[in-house]
Amino acid sequence: MSKEMLNAFEMLEEQKGIKPEIVIEAIEQAITAAYKRQYGQAQNVKVIFDEKKGNFNVYSTREVVDEVFDSRLEISLEDAMELNPHYEIGDKIMFEEKPKDFARTAAGAAKQVIMQKMREEERTIIYNEYNRYRDEIITGTVEKVDNRAVYVNLGRVDALLTKKDQIPQERFHVGDRVKVYVTDVILTPKGTRVFISRTAPEMLKRLFEKEIPEVFDGTVEIINIARDAGDRAKVIVESHDANVDAIGTMVGAKGARIQGIIRELSGEKMDIIEYSKDKATLVANALKPARIEQVLITEDGAALAVVAKDQLSLAIGKRGQNVRLAAHVTNCKIDIKSADEFNVDDYIIEDGADELPEDDVIIEEIEVAESAEEVNAEVSDENVE
């Protein structure tokens, strides 16, 4: 039996990843529970596993007393001294127990407790395995598709890609391989639940980190992202190296670096925006491809963007998309006015914000921004197969 027991422990560790000490502890608890069930008490029972023989031995502890009231818990001094003349009142003596018919009762209780312990341990192992993927991208296989969700097998667990986490125009079929972003991992009584998404802004950030070394090593930092998943995204970036152009690094020559990400996200267009500490400049950059004539910061911290009349619809975007994403990515409320309707006296402007930089500085910034926008437009409007 001992060899069989030890072999069983080895198999559990190999097949389920459950360490022998976990199973041994479960069996010890099971035998203790069985003893209590059969004999009505277990407070003085201890189960010890003999690692050499592979056996579980049951011991009861009895206290040496003058007068015995419960023979299951106590032993008289006289009887104790027959075992060893050095015993004194208050000493504790361990006796090996071999109760009749106990093996069958113990086996039933042990099986139930062991199975429960094994299920708990297996759930914990699976949780720890997938918790490593929290906030990361993982690849799964589509197992089922219905009107409610796409069921994605991630190996040892299944996850639901719900409607709100799906890119609208994407269609999946059973057997498709799909990349998903793990938003959360929760351990429940029924097992591990993994929550996934393809619309989370963080998924786009992880894709950039995987595709662009300068983003992965921190040379170029992604400051913020706003997405209409599958349609358009605005990404604010900053270079921490004076010799590295943030936008050019992200896009690559003729959009070569960004094309894989666009394909992965079903043609989602990308507006790469250069970060600026100046709030007005940042808002102007974020509103591209519209040409912004002026941005004023109001007293309440909102931004007022002034554009030529023919740029108004472009600045707002289809269904307000451009200004909405710009406001989201800059964390700033943005109001847009055409130049012929704008009257600065209608607004309370933040101190100093109504004084624009010198003309040559404005021209230089616009030239740089337009050059970058040409690259963005080329990438955004290219028809990706």
Q: Write down which residue in 77, 102, 130 finishes a domain.
A: 130
Do 53 and 102 sit in the same domain of this protein? yes
- Is residue 378 one of the residues assigned to a domain? no
Which domain does 309 fall in, by range?
Answer: 278-354
C-alpha 83/C-alpha 93 separation (Å) is: 10
CATH number of the domain enclosing 174 = 2.40.50.140
Residue 291's pLDDT is 92
What is 144-156 written as a DSSP string? EE-SSEEEEE-SS
- List average pLDDT for each run of 10 residues in the chain, which is 385 residues long: 66 75 80 73 74 78 87 86 90 79 60 74 89 96 94 95 94 96 93 95 96 96 96 96 95 91 94 95 94 90 92 94 96 91 64 40 31 41 38
Do 43 and 58 sit in the same domain of this protein? yes
Contact 117, 18 (CB under 8 A): no
Residue 372's pLDDT is 38
C-alpha 328/C-alpha 332 separation (Å) is: 7
Do 157 and 87 sit in the same domain of this protein? no
- Is residue 249 one of the residues assigned to a domain? no
Residue 2's pLDDT is 54
Do 296 and 335 sit in the same domain of this protein? yes
Q: What pTM value is reported for the model?
A: 0.69
C-alpha 323/C-alpha 109 separation (Å) is: 66
Residue 149's pLDDT is 94
Residue 210's pLDDT is 94
Q: How many domains does the chain have?
A: 3
- Is residue 215 one of the residues assigned to a domain? no
- Is residue 370 one of the residues assigned to a domain? no
Residue 355's pLDDT is 38
Do 286 and 345 sit in the same domain of this protein? yes
